[in-house]
Structure 1
Amino acid sequence: MSAFDTIVIGAGMSGLTSARMLADAGQRVVVLEARDRIGGRMHTDRSAGFPVDLGASWIHGIDGSPLWDLVQALGVPTIEYTVGSFQVGGRPMENFDGKGRAMGETATAQWIADVDEADRLLVEEIAASSSGDTYLDVTERALDRSGFSPERIDEIREFFRHRVEEQCGAWIGDLDAHGLDEDAIEGDEVIFPRGYDELPRRIGAGLDVRTDTPVSRVTRSTAGVVVQAGDTEYTADRVIVTVPLGVLKTGTIEFDPALPDAVAGPIDRLGMGVFNKIFLQFPARFWNDESYVIRALGEAGEHWHSWYDVSAVSGLPTLLTFAAGPFGRHMQELPDEEVVADVLRALRSLYGDAVGEPRAHWITHWGPDAFSNGSYSHLAVGSTHHDHDALAGPVDDVLHFAGEATWGDEPATVGAAFYSGHRAAERILGHTVDLGEFAAGITAREQKEGR
């Protein structure tokens, strides 16, 4: 008899969701986690006395979202912050032109209209694209058709590049023409003033989670699975692998026998992007009180393009900016002081001496992180949306995969991780798991234990 019914590899959102659902159904479950903490790419730093989300931050669209339903059922507070979808209007923003000059209402209205028209043309070009076309190919075709002046085209081109980098962590020329098809946002977006990792912590409470336990080998047979972690072997009837795509691509976990092409192919074809965060806390605000976002267009925003006001979380003046794609890979190799200095140079080109010296900063390095090897998945050239779902398996009815990279409808999101963990649990149990009952079970356990 196997020691466990199911082994779950990875204690991120998908792994803990699967494990919780299986344990609630009476299964013997163990979760093996390489890090010294749970949460995976949901990582909240509270060392400063307030939460700083170094990993995931947003729910991207709350309308019709089971993840949002879970948040509400658990009573987790949120703040409406609808700009994570990289919109150009609809919320207070401070835009600066390519020369670093603040844009007035007329210029801003023209900019919004330009992007709307370019996006309309882009949708047509994506629909008409051929296999092998990149997002760069279709954006250039759309811009060629726009009839805009060279300066206006340059600003939109820069905007398109940054949009891809922020949403995919990849260079625009490495993304498939359909790479942003699934990024439609329905409803408002929200962030978490108590820290996003409250979700995995509450879902995982009471589970058998073994941290500091990196897995090196998964062996499967008709009898079940054997999972090697250090000098210890764990046996079970089945396993759910929820490690990030970046880890699967490095081959640090050996599969015996080798994975079939139905799963190995998607692992090879899909891309893993780099998206790093830089938080700067200032002694005083130098931007408008009502602004969500500061955005530099064209040449002024070549490197640092957008800054997000996240002061509401700590109550202290704080801006968040991103280094993603090739630029993100370069910046994560530099000392923090150089990164901060570079961001300050960009801000001072817009606001001058009003930009004070930061009191604190937080900088992430997801690319070289051995337990993620990147930030989240994207549709690389040569891959298709089907690859995401195909990656989930199962293989030989004993090997399942879950995680954001295995959910084709909205990969690269916490929602995708949650839904894929739910799917894996249902496939193993052979029946549906009601998400309302799932949330109620978490709350009931907390009340029973006095939390």
Structure 2
Amino acid sequence: MDTIVVGAGIAGITAARLLHAAGQRVVVLEARDRVGGRIWTDRTAGFPVDRGASWIHGLTGNPLTGVVAALEMETHEFTVGSFQAAGRPIADYDESRRLLDHEAARRWAGDVDTADALLERIVAASGPGESYATVAERALAATGWEPRRADRVRAFYRHRTEEQCGAEAEQVAAHALDEDAVEGDEVIFPGGYDVLPRALAQGLDVRLGRTVTAVGRTAAGVRVDTEDESFEAARAIVTVPLGVLKAGAIEFTPALPGAVAGPIARLGMGVFNKVFLQFPGRFWQDAVYAIRRHGRAGFPWHSWYDVSAVSGKPMLLTFAGGAWGREIERKTDEEVVSSVLAALREIHGDSVPEPVAHWITRWGNDPHALGSYSYVAVGSSHDDHDALAEPVDGVLHFAGEATCGREPATVHGALQSGHRAAERILGSRLCLTELTRGVTPVR
């Protein structure tokens, strides 16, 4: 065996496919009963519900754009970019639950732009141990705004870190969102995102239901142990989520060097959960992307996205990130749904019916993920993402979104990391067109 890939998420499948195309003997070991990892499309309702990744974040210059086109995947434009303040039709409600008119919404978006310009300069001058909360407060203080006006932007910043990092602003490093930019439109997938990993896994030796417990480095290469079997190869690529690495679920022998173990310890693993509600009919405004509550009224639920275009049914999606995301994992489905409905009814009153179906994710409780995606925690830096990917003793490689310093917490970041690992193993540049060569589109 040439290479063992641990994990059949997009990073693992990308690396395995490129190595396989280059003539290597590759086996992929996956703990789940499916490929895709944190790309997970639930089809039990007769239409796709993406419980994990949903978007391509920015089509411009994105390696996923060409891959998706080659696989003939259906897309639907749904640009929300970086938890944006404006730019798309959003129904904004103030603290008294009154809909902002066009001029009020314009002023609100202008306030975010003003504060962001201040924040950018303050972040650039911040120290390595400062949090996003600290620099955000500094920027808001510099505006001189009255409390309610500042509260709206403060709440926006807190929701931004919850969504982008799955963590609280106090946990996130001041520089954590430096890479947080979206170029071009964003799209979602009416046919489900899992079409991507299922298509790319064609022809690969993927062993499902194999939970890796140990990876040993030897003079001959590597030995990878599952609960029932052992595999030996010249090298291994470990692509499990950062949460699994942080939990020590895989024993590495010898122990990982500090250059890799350090980033694992310092980087954070966020929790960002989804709540989908399918309704018997539409009660919200036509032609809006999202419903949003401002200021202190926007806790714990603040935004609902109209994802009816995917399901073909009247459906809203809301999110729970950071501490609230972890808290809902301890609640029953009924408690979570009731809480979301109560917030919606504060805006739309009795016009909000009982949902006919719901879907709730709990990524923090998932033993094969232990979180949703990585983030730059206070005390870490973007360099830690890339340091985590440095080869160990020439035989052990790491890949996955947490190892991509430019685009962490994204599917395209995971894809790029798998591409990088394959190139390092082969010692040559690889064209991504090889990824889809000979692949039959999946429906």
Q: What per-residue deviation string (whole Å, max 9, x for no partner) do you get for residues 330-372 of structure 1?
A: 0111000000000000000001011111010000000011000
Q: What per-residue deviation string (whole Å, max 9, x for no partner) do you get for residues 416-445 of structure 1?
A: 110000000011111111112332x1xx34
Q: 2:280 aligns with which of 264, 280, 283?
A: 283
User: How many Å separate the matches in 2 of 1:445 and 1:419?
Assistant: 19
State the match for 1:404 in structure 2. 401
Would the aligned equivalents of 2:200 and 2:439 in 1 still touch at CA under 8 Å?
no
State the match for 1:297 in structure 2. 294
Would the aligned equivalents of 2:202 and 2:439 in 1 still touch at CA under 8 Å?
no
The one-letter code sitting in structure 2 at the alignment partner of 1:171 is E
Would the aligned equivalents of 1:226 and 1:233 in 2 still touch at CA under 8 Å?
yes
User: How many Å separate the matches in 2 of 1:254 and 1:437?
Assistant: 33
State the match for 1:359 in structure 2. 356
Q: What per-residue deviation string (whole Å, max 9, x for no partner) do you get for residues 255-292 of structure 1?
A: 00000001000000000000000000011111111000
Shift in Å, 1:234:
0.2
State the match for 1:213 in structure 2. 210
State the match for 1:41 in structure 2. 38
Would the aligned equivalents of 1:218 and 1:225 in 2 still touch at CA under 8 Å?
yes
1:162 maps onto 2:159 in alignment: yes
Q: 1:374 aligns with which of 371, 380, 384?
A: 371
User: How many Å separate the matches in 2 of 1:62 and 1:118?
Assistant: 27
State the match for 1:348 in structure 2. 345
State the match for 2:176 in structure 1. 179
User: How many Å separate the matches in 2 of 1:340 and 1:268?
Assistant: 35
State the match for 1:107 in structure 2. 104
User: How many Å separate the matches in 2 of 1:365 and 1:89?
Assistant: 29
Structure 2: 5+ residue runs without aligned partners? Answer: none
Q: What per-residue deviation string (whole Å, max 9, x for no partner) do you get for residues 193-237 of structure 1?
A: 100111110001121111111011101023100001113110000
Would the aligned equivalents of 2:200 and 2:435 in 1 still touch at CA under 8 Å?
no
1:261 maps onto 2:261 in alignment: no
Q: 1:68 aligns with which of 65, 70, 94?
A: 65
The one-letter code sitting in structure 1 at the alignment partner of 2:417 is S
State the match for 1:9 in structure 2. 6
Would the aligned equivalents of 1:243 and 1:372 in 2 still touch at CA under 8 Å?
yes
Q: 2:423 aligns with which of 423, 426, 433?
A: 426
Which 10-residue stretch deviates more, 219-228 or 343-352?
219-228
Q: What per-residue deviation string (whole Å, max 9, x for no partner) do you get for residues 32-81 of structure 1?
A: 00111111000000111110000000111110111111111221111110
Instruction: Give the match's secondary structure for 2:111.
Output: helix
User: How many Å separate the matches in 2 of 1:389 and 1:398?
Assistant: 17
State the match for 1:196 in structure 2. 193
Q: 2:411 aligns with which of 399, 414, 430?
A: 414
Instruction: Give the match's secondary structure for 1:255.
Output: strand
State the match for 1:136 in structure 2. 133
CA RMSD of aligned residues (A): 1.1
User: How many Å separate the matches in 2 of 1:141 and 1:166?
Assistant: 21
User: How many Å separate the matches in 1 of 2:62 and 2:129?
Assistant: 32
Shift in Å, 1:85:
2.1
User: How many Å separate the matches in 2 of 1:81 and 1:8?
Assistant: 33
Would the aligned equivalents of 1:245 and 1:376 in 2 still touch at CA under 8 Å?
yes
State the match for 1:446 in structure 2. 440
The one-letter code sitting in structure 2 at the alignment partner of 1:271 is G
Shift in Å, 1:115:
0.7
State the match for 2:226 in structure 1. 229
Shift in Å, 1:106:
1.8
Shift in Å, 1:315:
1.2
1:87 maps onto 2:70 in alignment: no
Instruction: Give the match's secondary structure for 2:148.
Output: helix
Normalised TM-score (structure 2): 0.99
User: How many Å separate the matches in 2 of 1:99 and 1:257?
Assistant: 59
1:29 maps onto 2:26 in alignment: yes
Instruction: Give the match's secondary structure for 1:218.
Output: strand
State the match for 1:252 in structure 2. 249
Instruction: Give the match's secondary structure for 1:174.
Output: coil
User: How many Å separate the matches in 1 of 2:258 and 2:296?
Assistant: 44
The one-letter code sitting in structure 2 at the alignment partner of 1:123 is E
Instruction: Give the match's secondary structure for 1:31.
Output: strand
User: How many Å separate the matches in 2 of 1:370 and 1:50?
Assistant: 26
Q: 2:381 aligns with which of 371, 380, 384?
A: 384
User: How many Å separate the matches in 2 of 1:336 and 1:170?
Assistant: 22
User: How many Å separate the matches in 1 of 2:366 and 2:409?
Assistant: 17
- Runs of at least 4 residues off by over 4 Å: none
Q: What per-residue deviation string (whole Å, max 9, x for no partner) do you get for residues 236-269 of structure 1?
A: 0000000000000000100000000010000000
Would the aligned equivalents of 1:58 and 1:84 in 2 still touch at CA under 8 Å?
no
User: How many Å separate the matches in 2 of 1:304 and 1:45?
Assistant: 24
Would the aligned equivalents of 1:174 and 1:380 in 2 still touch at CA under 8 Å?
yes
Instruction: Give the match's secondary structure for 1:99.
Output: coil
For these two proteins, the number of residue pairs brought into alignment is: 443
User: How many Å separate the matches in 1 of 2:95 and 2:128?
Assistant: 34
User: How many Å separate the matches in 1 of 2:346 and 2:208?
Assistant: 45
User: How many Å separate the matches in 1 of 2:194 and 2:12?
Assistant: 14
1:54 maps onto 2:51 in alignment: yes
Normalised TM-score (structure 1): 0.97
State the match for 1:124 in structure 2. 121
Q: What per-residue deviation string (whole Å, max 9, x for no partner) do you get for residues 106-164 of structure 1?
A: 21111111111011111011011012010000000000001211101111111100010
Structure 1: 5+ residue runs without aligned partners? Answer: none
